[in-house]
Amino acid sequence: MLPTPTNPPTTTSLPPDFTPYQNRRPLHIHLGPSSFPLLQKCQDPMYISSLIDNENGVVTVMTSHDNQHFLDDTRYTQTTHIPLSILLTQFKCPTLPNPVYYRGPVPPHLHTHLPPLPPHNPTLTRLWVSTPGCITPLHYDKCHGLLIQLVGTKKFVAFPKEDAHRLYLFDGIAGPAHVSRIRHVTKLFENKLSGEECEELVKRFPKLRDTEPYWVELGPGDVVYTPPGFLHEVTTVEASVSVTVPWDMTEEELEDRPAFMAF
């Protein structure tokens, strides 16, 4: 029998101190339009276009080898070029036959409209524009991270780092060592796999039954904090604009990291 995902703690403002959550558990922050005016600006396609790095109206995007899973790794994706106008059209009328993902720098004028953030290096923040069906497969990061949802919706499933040994990480040869071999955990916990598919998945990865997943549905104004080492899968439901904000682990956290994060 599979576990039932639980919702992480939720608050309505970014905490001035992340200590109660940092390196411990996810946190879901819901920011309303009154506290996050940027949400209103992001309803304007012209404003969205001002955020996307392009050359003469052409933007570089990632496509996926399996038309689903996206990682910055040539085993998963390749880059191509499409008109910026086509990418923007996907927010009103999806027309692309397969999902695409844009990743680029966060322009300075966007930084000024973000909510107060933990100390971080602004040059490492990223803007993500994804079309429906994009999946970032189950993986972990070696840094703290915020995902700030500006437009559209995503589904987010995460597991505590204590579950890592139950999540079948690649060995670094057959696949990246920070990525799980398991696919479609979001569909699994939504009961959107067929009975046969579910049975096959659990048969291949039986330790999944002993995990303790978290579940968050992200819409405009939602922010999720993910601790280092927490494996997570992110699925784009509606055409989406997000910002990610990473920051480094402390010396104490690095000294105390589990063995699987050393590779």
Res 126: pLDDT: 98
Res 262: pLDDT: 83
Count Cβ atoms within 10 A of the Cβ of residue 119 and give its class: 0-12 exposed, 13-18 middle, 19 or more buried: exposed
The CATH architecture one would assign to domain 10-262 is: Sandwich (2.60)
CA 57, chain centre distance (Å): 26
Ranges of the chain whose pLDDT falls below 50: none
In the block, which residue shows the tokens 């039932």?
4
Tokens of 96: 């692309």
Tokens of 159: 């597991």
Res 17: pLDDT: 79
Res 129: pLDDT: 98
- H or E, element range at 47: helix 45-51
Distances (CA, A) of 40 to 44, 96, 263: 8, 26, 42
Res 1: pLDDT: 83
pLDDT in tens, 73-111: 999 999 999 999 999 999 988 888 999 999 999 999 999
In this prediction the pTM is 0.96
Residue type, 218: L
Res 3: pLDDT: 95
Res 27: pLDDT: 97
